[in-house]
Chains A and B, each alone.
Chain A
Amino acid sequence: MAPLLELRNLSTHYVSQRGTRVVKAVDGVSLALDAGETLGVVGESGSGKSTLALSILRLLPTAAANAGGEILFDGEDLLKKSAEEMRRIRGKRIAMILQDPMASLNPLFTVGDQVGEGLRVHEGTTKRRAWERATELLRAVRITAPETRVGEYPHQMSGGMRQRIVGAMAIACEPQLLIADEPTTSLDLTIQAQYLALLRDLQRDHGLGLIFITHNLGIVAKMCDRVAVMYGGRLVEFGPVRKIFDAPRHPYTRALLESIPRFGDSRQRLTAIGGQPPDLSALPLGCSFHPRCPDAVDQCRAEAPPETGVDAGHVSRCWVAPR
């Protein structure tokens, strides 16, 4: 079976106005996601995670442009779609939850209007029917008394409720793929746990493909089937979550995992990754991680490592590690 989403060598570059500076925010990323699966995309700030998500939806800022590759969604290349075709795919077949769902609701409209908006835009549903569907969706995201809540305004809701409403909006048109860009960063831990459980249930009930962008490895371990680790715009390691957590191949992944505190850990200090995240407009020659890599050899400084298969579905970009 063909995967639901497959990126082949996708590159997205930001070009400065005079064309003198090029920032390779996404550089040659290849990965795949099956229907009903969850893919975690991790990496530090500025590693290209969000740009990757926006590239898939073709909603890049004006300065950014696709610089090659393919985005195969359900067998079709999204990069070859017209603007109007893309608009019809957004929200209908690929939905997205933004970084700050708290501010994602229009203060002037009722919750019912907003949850039903997608249906009215994409399926021409009547106002009354959209309202009924909105009530059902609110129930699906476990909002109590949905019949009353549907007629209320965002300011009458708590943060956790607003978050779930945004979730309801995302699944309104029953999309095949849901992209969640750090949807829990603005929430406290209890609400975060509830919301993650909700997302997982929604995914199971609707058979969604889910792309979960985060820098929280704990969430990845709990939620995801596969992980893509990004560094400096490149995919450094990609594979099943168990394998990567048990036996990380890339030194960056290893360093990331070692920097998380664990309950009952006997070590006295956490290991930090030395150095600074790279400047994307002036990436070092060779492997972009080499200045911070403890295992770097001469080859790392001269030549970017190719993607190497480690196992079935597990790839890594490192000269040293696979050996």
Chain B
Amino acid sequence: MAVTRADRLTVAWRSASINLQGMPVFPVAILVGLGLVAIFAGVLAPHSSEVGNLGERFKPPAWQQGGTSNFLLGTDHLGRDVLSRLMFGARVSIMVGLLAVVVAGTIGTALGILSGYMGRWVDQVIMRVTDTWLALPALTFAIFLAAVVGPSLWNIVIILSAVYWTRYARVIRGEVLSLKEREFVRLAIVAGCSKWTIMRRHILPNVLNSAIVLASLQLGVVIITEAALSFLGVGVPPPQAAWGLMLADGKKGLMAGYWWLTVLPGLCIMMMVLSANLLGDWLRVKLDPQLRQL
């Protein structure tokens, strides 16, 4: 054998490392940082995120008058450490964001391929359902679902996936329609491959790029929606820490000058979503050959 597995891996690695050129450094650093914090929140957090000390309520951040180095970013109305809550909040946002994007992406891609490749009534049924789904206002629909299934972390993932799979189905169907006319797919038909073989071996690998780009662009949307649901009280149930929930808890203190209770989680959400969007934009340019040529 002239080409060993190791050789192939080297080639793959080399092309992968070349492809990292032009990567947006800041957004990736922020996402990686937040990811690490989320993973090690249990170790890094100085205090409990759910149990506070009522004697230490509304302590400002350490650099302000009255702040202590014990609570670097201050405490909330129940005396809970804001820094610790932000760390565990990152865990919720990232976990919900990634899971919802993966689940929605899988459902949407599968339906998109089925719809595009099978055509006829399968296409009609799937696309009419998708149209109907798209006509529903996403957030209202999510609130409705949340009210039906009740608040919990896992239910949020299910709700967000149920709301956001439609975009994938549409985009992937379009891709499949053009792929289906490509010569190599026609040759596979002529060579007697079954529909399932063709969808799995010839269609799916060729639409994965688009699905990944879409998923990275959707990540921000999903995280914002999760925060919104938590803010409205139909998302992650208290006393768990989630950024949206912290915003909701802190809004009453805003007039009283307790700015850190809303500004800090708001900043976290903004940084996370902005980073996810920038990364998604970069991936789109990188993975979409047509845009890449521009």
Contact = CB atoms under 8 A, between A and B. Distances in A.
A106 B2 contact: no
Given A108-B205, A151-B8, A117 B184 contact: no
Contact of B192 (A88, A105, A108): A88
Contact of A92 (B3, B192, B194, B202): B192
Contacts, number: 73
B192 A91 contact: yes
B192 A59 contact: no
Chain B contact residues (Cβ within 8 angstroms of A): what range? 20 to 34
A95 to B, nearest CB: 7
Contacts of A307: none
B190 A59 contact: yes
Interface stretch (A96-104, A219-227, A278-286, A291-299): A96-104
A92 B192 CA distance: 7
Chain A, interface residues (CB within 8 Å), range: 20 to 34
B192 A104 contact: no
B1 A147 contact: yes
B190 A91 contact: yes
Interface string A67-105: 000000000000000000001111110011011111111
Interface of B is mostly: helix
Given A147-B1, A148-B2, A151-B8, A106 B184 contact: yes
A88 B186 CA distance: 16
Contact of A90 (B2, B3, B192): B192
A105 B189 contact: no
A64 to B, nearest CB: 15
Nearest to A147: B2
A118 B191 CA distance: 7
A10 interface: no
A122 interface: yes
Given A103-B183, A104-B184, A106-B202, A151 B3 contact: yes
B190 A57 contact: yes
B32 interface: no
A96 B2 CA distance: 31
Contacts of B3: 147-148, 151
Contacts of B191: 90-91, 95-96, 117-118, 121, 169
Task: With a 10 A CB-CB cut-off, give which of A89, A92, A121 has the most chain B CB atoms.
Answer: A121
Contacts of A147: 1-3
Given A121-B197, A148-B2, A148-B3, A169 B192 contact: no
B193 interface: yes
B135 interface: no
Interface in A36-89: 57, 59, 87-89
B25 interface: no
Contacts of A134: none
Nearest to B8: A151
B182 interface: yes
A261 B184 CA distance: 35
Nearest to B7: A151
Given A117-B201, A121-B197, A104 B189 contact: no
Contacts of A145: 2
B184 A90 contact: no
Contacts of B294: none
A166 interface: yes
A145 B1 CA distance: 11
Interface of A: 57, 59, 87-92, 95-96, 98-109, 117-118, 121-122, 145, 147-148, 151, 166, 169
Given A147-B1, A151-B2, 16 more contacts: A59-B190, A87-B192, A87-B194, A88-B192, A90-B189, A90-B192, A95-B190, A98-B187, A102-B183, A106-B201, A106-B206, A117-B191, A121-B194, A151-B8, A169-B187, A169-B191
25 contacts: A57-B190, A59-B189, A88-B192, A89-B192, A90-B189, A91-B191, A91-B192, A95-B190, A96-B187, A96-B190, A98-B186, A98-B187, A99-B183, A100-B183, A101-B183, A103-B184, A104-B187, A106-B206, A108-B205, A109-B201, A117-B201, A118-B192, A121-B197, A166-B187, A169-B191
Q: Which 10 A-B pairs have the closest CB atoms?
A: A91-B192, A91-B191, A90-B192, A103-B183, A151-B3, A96-B190, A104-B187, A106-B184, A148-B2, A104-B183
